[in-house]
Amino acid sequence: MRTTKTVTIASGQTVSSAAPTEGDLVGIRTPAALTGTSITFQTACEDQVFLPYKKPASGNPVSMTVAADGSYGIVPSDFKSFDYIKIVSGSTEAADRVFTLIFER
């Protein structure tokens, strides 16, 4: 079963609101307008202390090149062990931007 959650990066900000993970994150849809061209992620457990999500092998942040009005697949195992997720834009957003996170149970 698929569910969706939305997160918003407020105008003038780079970090979105938090979404609880409900199943495996399998995709992201970007808004019709977007200032940044890349995104990274912050994750948290139930304590809601958000930290940058990094690749286990390299220690580098997981980064995606994105464009407005796009759909992007996610490797579900990347975020499986976290309770919350935020999106971080590579640029300060010029207006409120709503992203859709797609989860599968």
> pLDDT digits over 31-65, tens only?
999 999 999 999 999 999 999 999 888 888 989 99
Domain at 45, CATH number: 2.60.120.260
CB 43 within 8 A of CB 85: yes
Tokens of 73: 């697949």
Could you give the number of structural domains in the chain?
1
Confidence of residue 7 (pLDDT cuts 50, 70, 90): very high
**pLDDT exceeds cutoff 90 at 86:** yes
Q: Give the pLDDT of residue 80.
A: 84
Query: Taken in order 80, 67, 71, 33, is the CA torsion positive or negative?
Result: positive
Domain that holds residue 37: 2-104
